[in-house]
Amino acid sequence: QVQLVESGGGLVQAGGSLRLSCAASGRTSSTYVMGWFRRAPGKTREFVAHIKRSDGTTYYADSVKGRFTISTDNAKNTVYLQMNSLKPEDTAVYYCAVAGQQTRSYDYWGQGTQVTVSS
């Protein structure tokens, strides 16, 4: 089992920045990738970014490429999402998730943190 706790959400004006954090605990040694997803009001959950634990390879959704940066501190079992040039359409609940080595699917999810971008 892996437990995930997100933090860092809040209210920011368009063009501003926020940094989300997700602290993992439990069986973190079996982590394959750590990712961020989001769910905007009235929409389905969408992928934002992920990072491979083994080599740091990253992948981003087109909608955030060039504005968001995902990174990890493996010693702290923490993944970050630096969000710059925020837009009102980035408003959503952001979730951290972990995929394990065995299943390669996102089996563990955090509780989510609200990000609101005002215009």
Can you tell me the distance from the alpha carbon of 72 to that of 24, in angstroms, rounded to the nearest whole number? 11
Q: Where does the pLDDT of residue 28 fall: very low under 50, low under 70, confident under 90, or very high at 90 and above?
A: confident
pLDDT tens digit string along 48-63? Answer: 999 998 899 999 999 9
What is the mean predicted confidence (pLDDT) over 4-30? 95
- Grouping H, G, I as helix, E, B as strand and the rest as coil, residue 85 is coil
Q: Which residue has the higher pLDDT, 29 or 67?
A: 67
- Do residues 45 and 95 touch, judged by C-beta distance below 8 A? yes
